[in-house]
Structure 1
């Protein structure tokens, strides 16, 4: 497809706007705490939309619609699982984690929190959790860069190699400059753009086919199985798809949004906003893929690109059905999804290297200015590695995301969940849960036993490791239990005197 001037202009205006926000955030970044967590002063709207946008990467507008386009409505079990998992995460973890991280040395990162929460003098928890973050986030970052490359490749006729750099450059720039504030403020804009695109596009697709009834009839005629929620699925497959919801408890880029809220009271309002946004976006993404089946069945001459790569269904529909100026805005939503998640991931990787490795082991007395600049340099390093991983044009967004999502969900999910709910959990329990969860995912992925998504055995075995190693070892210290009791009392708006450690 020839390069469209209106789409080109729209893209550049959007990208310039995001970079401009980065410069505004730069002026508000005074120390490393600002760069990593925005000084813990995010209100409910920014907390909610930033958590949503950082969660829903290019997968939302490419991977999920593509899966629905190929297999029909049965792939929407993923969306159901994600919705349930996200709600439970907001309900059980969000507010408690905000309180517990502050109670444990005002922790800025998850490795920092684990070290303080479990009084880990050996710093093994810090090292292992930082390494888990670097391993799985680099894969996750690669998925975002692949999605951005696909967008630039399809829209502007670039080669895949050129598109890789074009898609990654703007995100790297505003994350490098503005840190957490830039990421959170741009996330709010990007989340708004994503929901606009995902509500408008399926509506226009349905109208162009002739209405809901005609669209369903076309889909039914192509294959009645497209309407079957259980198409080709057994119990294991449904559990695997629903199991995506378990991943929420361990995603550092989402958990960082909870940690950055201005108080745990903000979380209640943020949860309502975020869940409404999420349900509408997931429903829109499912509808794009589902009604895309009807559109391309009626217009087979236009289906060449989606038949070659189904993950381009949203891109093709936007380009075919809309005025180039509107199409530019809609396709910017994919870039928004990619940039919002990629920026969060780069920042978490940077913080893991800077706070949990560089400062903890190399430069304990490093100044705030030095830490901010080391953090910026690490953004560049991680981005370059992720670009190298994304260089294979055969990569698929959903496959890369599923592996990284499972890794974090199993390695950190049980540890986070137990750490804010169970005062008896110990350092050895946390260490066992983290290692067992991560190793289970890596091994299970290689052998794909029973066709079960690796996050499920990883989460189960990690949880068992936490309980067993916590109970057979030495009990937590009195100080650790007192700190837990005080944080729990604060979360429940009680006074510590009413709680027995």
Structure 2
């Protein structure tokens, strides 16, 4: 495959721009608090768009459009579940978590928050949650590296190993240098690029087919099932797809954005911006796949790429319908989605290693400068491990990504939700919820007797464990309840 000069130039300019933002953020990074949470200085727009961009990986522009293209509109149930879950997360958790972390020793990470909130002097909660984050996110990072490599491989005809390093290098560099501010600022740019691509592309596809009515007629003529929201689905399948939304309560990379907002008052505006962005992006992704059916039905001579791999539908439409320069910008949106998610995952892993393990157990009195440099070193270490795992894209370890979302959602989701809403929750309740949630996901995936998505029983059993073990044990100390009450009072203040 020949390398397209306009696409190559567009990608290079885009990547250099992201790295430049990283070096600008370097100058604003004075302490470890800055490096991990940006000094809790994010405004509503950056909070909203960085949360959205860090959530939506290459799946948004490849996986979801591909599923719709192959199976029809019934695959959009997952988008509906995600929208509901994200809104509930913004509405119930975001503002409370922002305030609670500040009241509990200015916690910088989820393990840090759990340890302080539940007065865990044994540090067992901190260790278990940090290990869960490291295991799942290292695998997540590997999948992001693979996605970036596949994009470079298919766009520029690189061999896989070269594409692997090309796709990962820029993300590693700006995360390594600029930390949370670089990740958040670049996420904002990337979120803007993603929504531009996902609004423009389906509009041009519809125009190319001959209009909305003609597009729907072609899709209907190919198969009426493409318009059936329940095609091949039973009640359990629909509930399982909607259940993806439960995962939001426990995703550390998304929750970190809430913790970094400049105040809980910012969250309200950020929620509106973030939800509008998310709805438009998901609707655009569904539309790309859906109307892509009509385009390639009318133009079978262009369908070779999508016939081999349905997830290439966005890439093929961008190449066919747009000027190479515009196509380069649109395809950069895929890179943006991959980079935005990978960068925040690297940073969360770094924070778990640095704040929760290095500072927590090895160097309690480490200086801020030392912690920043250790954090940078940990980004590099995790990135190199992820690249090593991704070196063989067929490696079985990448199969774990399919339920990593469920693992985080069930292990951390109920703990976070109850932790910010219920003052009677105890350390033993949190520990039981975390262990029961994670184990249920793992066991249900391997031995489940129904097709129900494992996050649903995992979330339910973890919630029950939290309530039972909290009520069986001694109530939290008076000081812990007072801190919780003070944080809740601040959250409720106008």
State the TM-score, normalizing by the size of structure 1: 0.96
1:67 and 1:310 in contact (8 A); partners too? yes
Shift of 1:367: 1.2
Q: Distance in 1 between matches of 2:43 and 2:228?
A: 42
Contact 2:21 2:186 in 1 (8 A): yes
Q: Tell me if structure 2 keeps the 8 A contact 1:410–1:437.
A: yes
Contact 1:35–1:181, Cα closer than 8 Å, also in 2: yes
Aligned to 2:387: 387
Structure 1's 222 and 399: CA in aligned 2 closer, same or farther, altered over 3 A? farther
Shift in Å, 1:312: 1.3
Preserved CA contact (<8 Å) 2:142 2:398:
no
Preserved CA contact (<8 Å) 1:94 1:267 = yes
Q: Distance in 1 between matches of 2:237 and 2:108?
A: 38
Q: CA deviation at 1:394?
A: 4.4
CA distance in 2, matches of 1:234, 1:139: 31
In the alignment, which residue of structure 1 is the partner of 2:2?
A: 2
Q: Secondary structure at the match of 1:412?
A: helix
Tell me, what secondary structure is at the counterpart of 1:449? coil
Distance in 1, matches of 2:150 and 2:295, equals: 21
Alpha-carbon offset, residue 388 of structure 1: 2.5
The answer to whether the 8 Å contact 1:59/1:397 transfers is: no
Moved more, 437-446 or 70-79: 437-446
Q: Which residue of 2 aligns with 1:68?
A: 68
Deviation track 1:93-150 (CA, whole Å, cap 9, x = no partner) reads 0000000000000000000000000000000000000011011111221222222112
On the 8 A contact 1:105/1:116 being kept in 2, the answer is yes
Distance 1:92 1:334 in 2: 31
Distance in 1 between residues matched to 2:274 and 2:136, nearest whole Å: 25
Match of 1:221 in 2: 221
Query: Match of 1:343?
Result: 343
- 1:121 aligned residue: 121
Q: Distance in 2 between matches of 1:153 and 1:19?
A: 21
Q: Distance in 2 between the 1:92 and 1:269 partners?
A: 14
Q: In the alignment, does 2:458 pair up with 1:458?
A: yes
Find the aligned partners of 1:160 and 1:440 in 2 and give their Cα distance.
36
Residues 1:448 and 1:290: Cα distance change in structure 2 (over 3 Å):
farther
Match of 2:306 in 1: 306
Within a 5 Å distance, the mapping from 1:203-352 to structure 2 comes to 203-352=203-352
CA distance in 2, matches of 1:243, 1:90: 17
Write the distance in 2 (CA, Å) between the matches of 1:403 and 1:455. Answer: 8
Offset of 1:446 from its aligned partner?
A: 2.0
Q: Which moved more, 1:209-218 or 1:425-434?
A: 209-218
Distance 1:400 1:390 in 2: 13
Cα displacement (A) at 1:474:
1.3
User: 1:271-301 deviations in whole A, cap 9, x for unaligned?
Assistant: 0000000000000000011111111122222
Q: How far is 1:396 from its partner?
A: 11
Determine the structure 2 residue equivalent to 1:430: 430
2: CA distance between counterparts of 1:50 and 1:306? 31
Is the CA contact (8 Å cut-off) linking 2:139 and 2:398 kept in structure 1?
no
Aligned 1:90-169 pairs, distance under 5 A: 90-169=90-169
Partner of 1:498: none
Conserved? CA contact 1:111–1:129, under 8 Å? yes
Runs of at least 5 residues in structure 1 that lack an aligned partner in the other structure: 495-501
1-side partners of 2:449 and 2:159: how far apart? 38
Q: How many residues align?
A: 494
Shift of 1:311: 1.4
Kindly state the Cα deviation for residue 401 of structure 1 after the two structures are TM-superposed.
4.8
SS where residue 475 of structure 1 aligns? coil
Q: For residues 256 and 394 of structure 2, what CA distance do their matches in structure 1 show?
A: 32
**Residue number in structure 1 paired with 2:484:** 484
* Cα RMSD after superposing both structures: 1.5
Shifted more, 293-302 versus 64-73: the winner is: 293-302
Stretches of structure 2 that go unaligned for 5 or more consecutive residues are none
